[in-house]
Amino acid sequence: MAASTIKRIGILTGGGDCPGLNAVIRAVTKTAIIEHGWEVFGIEDGFLGLIENRIHPLKKTDVSNILTRGGTILGTSNKANPAKFAVGKDAVGMPIFKDVRDKAMANYKAHELDAIVVIGGDGTMSCAATLLGHGAKFVGVPKTIDNDLMHSHITFGFTTAVETATEALDRVHTTAASHHRIIVVELMGRNAGWLTLSAGVAGGADVILIPEIPYDIAVVEEYCRDRMAHRKACTIIAASEGAKSLHGRQYIAKTIVDSPDPIRFGGIAEALRNQLEATLGIESREVVLGHVQRGGTPCAYDRVLATRFGFEATKLLEAGQFNRMVVVQHGEMTSVPVEEVADKQRLVPRDHRLVVAAKAIGTCFGE
């Protein structure tokens, strides 16, 4: 399809929410209307809205004054995969899945959409990839506080989450020092340690535990013991929710069987606190930041990055470069095929320069 034939586009936000989603929606909608004269339709709650035909027009006034708002005005869902959609439960309570891609595509065609701007992480891009062979056209925008999308060195939402987590670590330092405690702070990130690594360094954490570097609890214990022996006021441990021990253990809070990404990590902070307190005899506490890291207004950097991503997405549409995701590589905007992002994660290399720098100033990674 030639770029000049575009008349209508859709926008959806999938997966977990994060700061900057509304900034992208605003940038795409306003650029599409003002620069190109296209009609824009908002798809509610990610691919769920496409499946259930909850699609409505977006005007410039609908996206005015949303730049600074957290969350997404369109809503989102991390369960609605058109290729494997839960339609009910069987006799033992297990979900019954059905392929509803034909239904999603029928709604796509009924609204005469020429393409959809899909804003999300690897799971959302995976859902988009399942529709490529059914006639859908997409342009992806990388969103996640985990910063783990392949081929993009930064995703919007990440910097705001780092700032939120860093502020929490700053505040934990003062109370930990006052009571001479060990405090374990649990951060998000799934199987990627970018958020914990960056916030841990910025927040001066003494111990940083990330999934990519399996930790030896004995090493962590000895490190804490040594700090107290040298009259350090406290010890702060920044632990990624998906951090794993040398034996490969990860702490799983629950499994959501009808979700494309069923594993929900959680519990490492409590487990480490209990073990360290019992072994060392040092009063310890745990703090779980949880969804605080996802919420709130985006920082200035993420507002700018999200606006740039939204603009670049419309340029791909204009050029007829469909089924690609906008990415940042070496500080420059470019794009890659959606299939190269789907079902993949960009992890922290063990020899990453920030890991090396942190080790050089005495930070323990449990090795």
Bridge partners for 334 per DSSP? 327
Beta strand 235-240 pairing with 252-255: unpaired
Q: What six digits make up the tokens of 48?
A: 């769920």
The neighbour count for residue 284, using CB atoms within 10 Å, is: 23
The burial class, CB within 10 Å (0-12 / 13-18 / 19+), for 320 is: middle
Beta bridge partners of 264: 254
How far apart are alpha carbons 360 and 357 in whole angstroms?
5
> Does the annotation count 146 as an active-site position?
yes
Q: Among candidates 320, 318, 235, which has minimal Cα distance to 284?
A: 235
Closest to 160 measured CA to CA, from 21, 331, 45, 64: 21
What SS3 class is residue 247?
coil
Tokens 């500080």 belong to: 331
* Closest to 181 measured CA to CA, from 282, 288, 281, 280: 282
Residues 211, 292, 288, 219, Cα dihedral to 10°: 30
Nearest CA to 343 among 75, 140, 121?
121
Helix crossing, 300-318 with 21-31: angle to 10°?
A: 40
Q: Which is catalytic among the residues 45, 114, 122, 146?
A: 146
**What residues are annotated to the active site?**
146
